[in-house]
Amino acid sequence: MGKKVCVVTGSSSGIGAATARLYAGKGWNVVINYSRDPAPAEAVAAQCEALGAEVLLVKADVAQDADCRRLASEVEARFGRADVLVNNAGTTKFVDLKNLDGLEAEDFHKIYSVNVIGAYQMTRALAPLLRQHLGSGVVNVSSVASIMGRGSSLAYMASKGALNAMTVGLARALAPHVRVNAIAPGLVETPWLQEGLGAEGYQRGVDWYKGRAALEAVITPEDVAETAWYLGASAAKTTGEVMLVDAGLRINKV
């Protein structure tokens, strides 16, 4: 029935791109998704092809249910199967924690529409394909912000907390065929924070993180991809788990 297939939302950059490359390198076919600029997505697709994967490239905004359903139909038409879904696409607004006037209801709606509703819609759209194989997996990319009360904004932290709760509920809903887990990364070296904080703010953030985390390190996209591989393709008896990849930020340096 062909190679296994991993669908990674938001895989034109950062964590999603590293995850797609890792699955491709392990002999899987991959689905690359983006919502805006096709050029970086095409570059990631070429890298995955060079690793031996067949690649389906789909422009789709996960906040739009019709896009999620179209993506799932394209996966079915092209590969006839889906074994792992990595709900990685995410968005935020950078607002200082103490600036309560900096966030409006609309900001919450926008962030939730991608980080929470997008993951729900993608999971629902792909569930019929995922259910066809016992042990298939959904991996939601959350954030350590969901449990630390630190991060780009209150709306972002709340959205990732909601994603953690949804992970546990979906793990029940899709059992026994599909396992559903989440990864909560700390500061990851991707364009996300570099663009959001600017060069100086980003460097301050990195220095703060290394000074605080037990392992005195920040996270690479490849570190998160490794965990997305473990939870998606392996971890046969793990479901409903939120796994930290934070270099020990939560436990802190003594």
Ligand X SMILES: NC(=O)c1ccc[n+]([C@@H]2O[C@H](COP(=O)([O-])OP(=O)(O)OC[C@H]3O[C@@H](n4cnc5c(N)ncnc54)[C@H](OP(=O)(O)O)[C@@H]3O)[C@@H](O)[C@H]2O)c1
CA angle (223 as vertex; 56, 234 as ends), nearest 5 = 65
CB 176 within 8 A of CB 249: no
CB 135 within 8 A of CB 237: no
- Provide the residue count of the chain: 254
Interface residue with ligand X among 23, 34, 79, 112 (CB under 6 A) is 34
Q: How far is the CB of 243 from ligand X (least distance, A)?
A: 12
Q: Which residue(s) pair with 147 in the sheet?
A: none
User: In this complex, which beta carbon is closest to ligand X, that of residue 94 or of residue 132?
Assistant: 94
Question: Which of 34, 156, 202, 230 is an active site residue?
Answer: 156
Instruction: Find all residues with CB under 8 Å of 165, minimum gap 6, and list them.
Output: none
Contacting range for ligand X; rule: CB under 6 A; set: 46-54, 88-96, 122-130, 209-217: 88-96
Could you say whether residue 153 binds ligand X (CB under 6 A)? Answer: no
Write out the DSSP string of 173-230: HHTTTEEEEEEEE-SB-SHHHHHHHHHHHHHHHHHHHHHHSTT---B-HHHHHHHHHH
Q: Is 23 a catalytic residue?
A: no
Site for ligand X in 160-189 (CB under 6 A): 185, 187-188
Contacting range for ligand X; rule: CB under 6 A; set: 35-43, 47-55, 76-84, 228-236: 35-43
Q: How far is the CB of 89 from ligand X (least distance, A)?
A: 3
Q: How far is the CB of 237 from ligand X (least distance, A)?
A: 25
* Type of residue numbered 74: E
Per CB under 6 A, residues contacting ligand X are 9-16, 33-37, 61-63, 88-91, 114, 118, 141, 143, 185, 187-188, 190-193
Which residues are part of the catalytic machinery? 156
